[in-house]
Amino acid sequence: GHSHWSYEGKYPADYWGQDYLDCAGNMQSPINIDTAKTIFSPQLRPIQLSGYSLPASDRLKLKNNGHTVLLELPESLAITGGYAQQYRAVQLHLHWGSPSGPGSEHTVNGHRFPAEIHVVHYNTKYNSFNEAMVHPDGLAVLGAFLEVGPRENPYYQEILEHLSKIQREGLLPANLKLYFHYNGSLTTPPCFQSVKWTVFNQTVLLSHDQVRQGNELLAGKPLQNNYRLAQALHRRRVLASFQ
């Protein structure tokens, strides 16, 4: 029944469509991005963010919703460029793997990255996230892959230590010009097909220990391996802001 969905066990992702019809739709997320098939689209301007560098004293709420760890964001954070309409931030969360494997949701040419951050926004022409999420242009999610790099990433260290304050600007890649764009869905039930996805081409680097810490933080079901497998593209095209 509703609310009992999970990634493994009795009602794994293959069954979501039985309780939540949209999960069996033809515009689902995540997807595999086949870079040989993306279409260069010069009108995809750099993503611009505002309000992402608030004072570190701003308290943010970190919560475990049973499927992921999510951080509620103040409504002062917004996407001000790259999308045709205005979107306001709601929360960010992470999809991780486990000590035995990577856990990004999107894949690129079949490659799955260690983890993926999602910053969820809703269109300001709607009054709330809940109202927006049922409209085709209701939501925008910014996604970036996390990979292992040479040193500790201070922005993520704070999330990993469960601290409630954090400097948001370091959570996304430095280069917000290079990205893929497509129309998709929430990657979890109810899977509403209301998300205009941006997946950045540049990754965010974390140290090996941080990736391991994340995997262990979420280890023990149901939080580990909280990623959905790639869904069929059907008639959709994936756009790229670069050649």
106 touches ligand 1SD by CB under 6 A: no
Burial of 148 (0-12, 13-18, 19+ CB in 10 A): middle
**Catalytic choice (2, 67, 95, 111):** 67
- Interface residue with Zn ion among 88, 106, 118, 121 (CB under 5 A) is 118
Q: Residues 41, 46, 49, 55: is their CA dihedral positive or negative? A: positive
210 touches ligand 1SD by CB under 6 A: no
Residue 129 CB neighbour total at 10 angstroms? 16
121 touches Zn ion by CB under 5 A: no
Residue 212: CB minimum distance to ligand 1SD, A: 23
The stretch near ligand 1SD (CB under 6 A) out of 14-22, 36-44, 46-54, 183-191 is 183-191
Binding mask 10-49 for ligand 1SD (x = CB under 6 A): ----------------------------------------
186 touches ligand 1SD by CB under 6 A: yes
Q: Are 80 and 87 in contact (CB under 8 A)?
A: no
Residue 95: CB minimum distance to Zn ion, A: 6
- Cβ proximity to ligand 1SD: between 38 and 188 the closer is 188
Q: What is the spatial distance between Cα 5 and Cα 187, in angstroms, rounded to a whole number?
A: 12
Phi, psi torsion values for 92, nearest 5 degrees = -125, 155
Q: Are 137 and 196 in contact (CB under 8 A)?
A: yes
Q: Are 108 and 36 in contact (CB under 8 A)?
A: no
The β-bridge relationship of strands 48-50 and 115-123 is unpaired
106 touches Zn ion by CB under 5 A: no
Q: Enumerate residues 125-144 that contact ligand 1SD by CB under 6 A.
A: 141
Cα–Cα distances (Å) from 166 to 52, 100, 148, 159, 225, in that order, read: 10, 28, 20, 7, 24
Residue 186 binding partner per list ligand 1SD, Zn ion, none, with a CB distance cut-off of 5 to 8 Å that depends on partner kind: ligand 1SD
Tell me, by CB under 6 A, how many residues bind ligand 1SD: 9
Q: Length of the chain, please?
A: 243
Is 67 noted as a catalytic residue in this protein?
Answer: yes
- Interface residue with ligand 1SD among 28, 104, 153, 188 (CB under 6 A) is 188
- Cβ proximity to ligand 1SD: between 31 and 141 the closer is 141
Q: Enumerate residues 55-84 that contact ligand 1SD by CB under 6 A.
A: 67-68
Phi, psi torsion values for 38, nearest 5 degrees = -75, 160
DSSP E strand boundaries for the chain: 32-33, 39-40, 48-50, 62-64, 69-72, 78-81, 87-96, 107-108, 111-112, 115-123, 139-148, 179-184, 195-200, 204-206, 239-240
Residue 103: CB minimum distance to ligand 1SD, A: 12
Q: Give me the active site residues, please.
A: 67
- Residues contributing to the site for ligand 1SD (CB under 6 A): 67-68, 93, 118, 120, 141, 186-188
